[in-house]
Structure 1
Amino acid sequence: MRHHTGRLPSARFGLRATAAAILLFSALAATGCGSDSHSPGDQPVDLSKLDTGNYQTKPQDFVPKDAATAARTAEALRLGDIMPLPMEIDPALTNHAFGEHVLLTGDSYDGWVDSDHFGTDAPGYVTGFATAAETTPVSGMYSLSDTVMIFDSDADATNAAGALARSGLDLKSLQTGDPSATAQSPQSTLHPSAQIRWSPEEQALASWYPTGRFIIFTLIHRGENAYLQDYWHIAADPAPLALADKAIDLTADRLKSFQATPPDKLAGLPLDPDGMLRLTLPRPDGDQTANAFTGTLDGHGALHAEDDPNVAPALFEKAGIDRVSYGAGQLNRARDADSARAYLDAAFIDRFRHPIAPPPGLPNATCTQYRGPDPHRFPFDCHVVVGRYVASVWSQQQQDVYQRISAQYAILANGK
């Protein structure tokens, strides 16, 4: 599977909590963390003395420059709220695989489909949401991505499934130099209408399953099997049809609770249903530091973007994280102030992140610098709790991350 380096990967900070972090969270929550009069979160802040650069400092309603794109993004994020996590499909998928989640164009699929012919292959395409994970942090070993595409009509979805399969997965993006790789078309007995392409040489399977206005697009890549086949001449595994069937079944079951917005009603979708974006630091034009989209996900949907799918669900549940918004940073909404403080103390444990001083005038903030092997991580990040909100920002520059967290704090403080 290809990863979208330089986009979402570099926008994430390290959530490398362990089971000990969860126990720490429980202890902190039980003792009422955040209520201690000596806690940094209780120190008064003079907003006038904060260096916020050119960033916004007051809550402002989210008004997108491109209303149509914002509406399609909101529809995609609604999908994210109901889609299964990869580890629900296969518990072995314990590492988040970076990539775009909101898929607005053929280019968004970046090697998953033939983007040059996407407009012809998929007329009536509205939007899509993708989730992906892998077994190890070593890219290309074993990964699975699960995507739902929405179309204007059932007929558009059915026709596109066949056309996209005929165009085929861009297998060259997975190859290590074998021009003889071929694509076969096995058939699923459980889902005979699924269009499937399988490359034994690359151990890559792509499946397009139309159901109503949706296509469930599953991509499975067992790179470790291809390696063993190439270098140790071990017989290739058969096509992982059972795994593809499971992905289809779980995703289709979740789609039963999802009502796709009629095409003529898409423009009326609420873009900020919980008022979270109003409190989130807006992303400047052209900013590549933030996430690849602006919008919100619920407590389940946000897990698709968390680094550690083993630990994050427990931390979210304990803190009561029910909504996460994404702009020039990330804003998590916890159950209450104590839960927010306990979440901050437990969630961002990473042996490669070293504490640095908070920005001037904002002793409440927790800031770190990354010194580790992951080239996709931004070197600086800062976090701060205001009431029930946990705000996080990250940047290539220390001064910029200081300005971002200061501005985000000011927005939250001014929003009380």
Structure 2
Amino acid sequence: MRYSYGRLRSARIRLRAAGAAVLAVSVLASAGCGSESHAAKDQTIDLSKLDTGSYATKPTDATTSDPMTTGRELEAVRLANIFPLGSEIDPALIYNTAGTNVFTEANSFNDYVNVDHFTDDAKGFIAGFATSARPAQDPDLGYTLTNAAMVFDTDADAGSAATALARSGLKLKSGTEVDPVQSTKHPASQILWAPSQQRLASWTPIGKFVLFTMIDQAENYSVEQEFGLAPEPMPLTLADKAIDVTADRLKDFQTTPPDKLTGLPLDPDGMLRLTLQRPTGDQTTGGFPGTLNQHGMLHMVENLTYYRTVFDQTGVDRVSDGAGFLVRARDSASAQAFLDNVSVTRTQHPIDPPAELPIARCEKSHGPDPHAAPFHCYVAFGRYAATVWSQQLQDAYQRISAQYAILANNK
């Protein structure tokens, strides 16, 4: 299973096709904290009058029909909560990309890697987490660093997988020159460099982990193609640093024994029981099990610098995912302040909220992305801030109403 994390970005929730995957992109905008408050104040909401459709309206304990798969996914979420941000490798990497995801399926962690033989190459694979960042919002400027860790049953499985995965290599055009590279700092790394594509990738076994690092120098590639310049030197120093930083972060990470994965707690913070669950068969978004802490959430946001400040100021410490996102802030004032940072841009315009839930905020997107979910609604209750989205206005209304009712019914 691949879970592409919702991206907290400026003022819209959108769905973007990325290969065969559909990536949920959640939006909470970058307006200043001085925006007008939409707090409930003295308004009283009559829960009996809310149109919630067929959605649940009371907290529901989280369960799973497949404990082993869920356990593997939760192991990957544990990785996300401690994994280094791109900016911790290179401070210039302040924009996360849609390449961030939890993955447990053998063929789903990166669109640029040849995974035709992944099942055979990665015997003993349990779960992985990948994060991707660049220095600018424009993907054609600068470079993109993708950094991932895959957990295996044993050290031997990880060592064999690093060699086999590198042998399968990258997805490149037929005839593309690929050079094997040796790192003096990390002699066990299997490294490939495609100079004509300005892409370097490495697979490094460290204990039960295989660290995957890819550097895609899009701007260098474009300049070379347009002006016929000689290829830039390969970014081996940066790859070495990514390996060093990641290995250091993982040294205190205790992997879960395979026979203990089903015992990982699904909802230790009680967030999932308060989160509106996605209807069966709903394919409008990816998702992830469990909850992320603040550090894990920072992999989700597009503008890292801005959201680190917002999270710190409002004390946001957890986020869960279902038929929308639920964020836990320091207190009720902080939750409202968090939602007050949602703004209207030229591609998103305010619309009326549900008639019986006037404290909600709803918007319609008019952006150019054909995959964007056009309707989004937000509401705060207590220390929680909720965000939902849908292709249909009535469904968005029902989702935000049901999510509010769940929070209000939490006794």
- The two structures share one fold, judged by TM-score above 0.5: yes
What are the within-5 Å matches in structure 2 for residues 87-126 of structure 1? 87-99=87-99, 101-126=101-126
* Structure 1: runs of 5+ lacking an equivalent: 173-178
Which one is further off, 160-169 or 112-121?
A: 112-121
Give distance in 2, aligned partners of 1:7 and 1:362.
34
Partner residue in 2 for 1:4: 18
Matched, 1:166 2:167: yes
SS at 2:18 equivalent: coil
Deviation at 1:3, TM superposition (A): 7.5
Change (3 A) 1:5 1:167: closer
Deviation at 1:17, TM superposition (A): 0.8
Partner residue in 2 for 1:180: 175
Partner residue in 1 for 2:9: none
Change (3 A) 1:259 1:126: same
Matched, 1:336 2:349: no
Q: Give the aligned residue type for 1:148.
A: A
Q: Give the aligned residue type for 2:316.
A: I
SS at 1:367 equivalent: strand
Which one is further off, 338-347 or 122-131?
A: 338-347
Deviation at 1:408, TM superposition (A): 0.7
Partner residue in 1 for 2:11: none
Give distance in 1, aligned partners of 2:163 and 2:196.
23
Partner residue in 2 for 1:379: 374
Partner residue in 2 for 1:395: 390
Partner residue in 2 for 1:149: 150
Please say if residues 122 and 161 of structure 2, whose CA atoms lie closer than 8 Å, have aligned partners that are also in contact: yes
Please say if residues 290 and 327 of structure 1, whose CA atoms lie closer than 8 Å, have aligned partners that are also in contact: no
SS at 1:300 equivalent: helix
Q: Structure 1, residues 249-304: CA drift from partner, whole Å, max 9, x if none?
A: 11111112311111111111001110100100111222122333232100110111
Change (3 A) 1:71 1:160: same
Q: TM-score, normalised by structure 2?
A: 0.91
Matched, 1:356 2:357: no
Q: Pick the structure with more helix per residue.
A: 1
Q: Structure 1, residues 59-96: CA drift from partner, whole Å, max 9, x if none?
A: 11111122111111111000000011112222332322
Alignment RMSD (CA, Å): 2.0
Give distance in 1, aligned partners of 2:391 and 2:65.
26
Deviation at 1:389, TM superposition (A): 0.3
Q: TM-score, normalised by structure 1?
A: 0.90
Change (3 A) 1:352 1:13: farther
Matched, 1:14 2:27: yes
* Counterpart selection for 2:409 from 386, 410, 414: 414
Q: Structure 1, residues 229-260: CA drift from partner, whole Å, max 9, x if none?
A: 12201111111111111111111111123111
Change (3 A) 1:365 1:5: farther
Change (3 A) 1:320 1:220: same
Give distance in 2, aligned partners of 1:106 and 1:164.
11
Q: Give the aligned residue type for 1:4.
A: A
Which one is further off, 133-142 or 89-98?
A: 133-142
Change (3 A) 1:166 1:412: same
* Counterpart selection for 1:208 from 190, 203, 206: 203
Change (3 A) 1:194 1:77: same
Please say if residues 145 and 219 of structure 1, whose CA atoms lie closer than 8 Å, have aligned partners that are also in contact: yes
How many percent of aligned residue pairs carry the same amino acid?
Answer: 52
SS at 1:384 equivalent: strand
SS at 1:311 equivalent: helix
Change (3 A) 1:282 1:390: same
Q: Give the aligned residue type for 1:13.
A: S
Give distance in 2, aligned partners of 1:182 and 1:3.
29
Deviation at 1:41, TM superposition (A): 5.1
Give distance in 2, aligned partners of 1:45 and 1:77.
36
Give distance in 1, aligned partners of 2:215 and 2:140.
11
* Counterpart selection for 2:291 from 296, 300, 305: 296
Which one is further off, 372-381 or 328-337?
A: 372-381
Give distance in 2, aligned partners of 1:110 and 1:158.
20
Matched, 1:64 2:56: no
Give distance in 2, aligned partners of 1:350 and 1:364.
20
Give distance in 2, aligned partners of 1:119 and 1:214.
16
What are the within-5 Å matches in structure 2 for residues 260-275 of structure 1? 260-275=255-270
Change (3 A) 1:107 1:339: same
Deviation at 1:398, TM superposition (A): 1.1
Q: Give the aligned residue type for 2:289.
A: T
SS at 1:146 equivalent: strand
Please say if residues 354 and 369 of structure 1, whose CA atoms lie closer than 8 Å, have aligned partners that are also in contact: yes
* Structure 2: runs of 5+ lacking an equivalent: 1-15
Please say if residues 329 and 385 of structure 2, whose CA atoms lie closer than 8 Å, have aligned partners that are also in contact: yes
Please say if residues 355 and 368 of structure 1, whose CA atoms lie closer than 8 Å, have aligned partners that are also in contact: yes
Give distance in 1, aligned partners of 2:356 and 2:21.
31
Deviation at 1:371, TM superposition (A): 1.7
Q: Give the aligned residue type for 1:158.
A: G
Change (3 A) 1:316 1:106: same
Change (3 A) 1:348 1:104: farther
Please say if residues 42 and 364 of structure 1, whose CA atoms lie closer than 8 Å, have aligned partners that are also in contact: no
Partner residue in 1 for 2:305: 310
Which one is further off, 100-109 or 345-354?
A: 345-354
The number of residue pairs the alignment matches comes to 395
SS at 2:341 equivalent: helix
Give distance in 1, aligned partners of 2:183 and 2:352.
57
Deviation at 1:203, TM superposition (A): 0.5
Give distance in 1, aligned partners of 2:111 and 2:178.
15
Please say if residues 5 and 99 of structure 1, whose CA atoms lie closer than 8 Å, have aligned partners that are also in contact: no
Change (3 A) 1:348 1:144: farther
Give distance in 2, aligned partners of 1:210 and 1:234.
35
Which one is further off, 66-75 or 148-157?
A: 66-75
Q: Structure 1, residues 217-240: CA drift from partner, whole Å, max 9, x if none?
A: 111101121121122011111111
Q: Give the aligned residue type for 2:367.
A: G
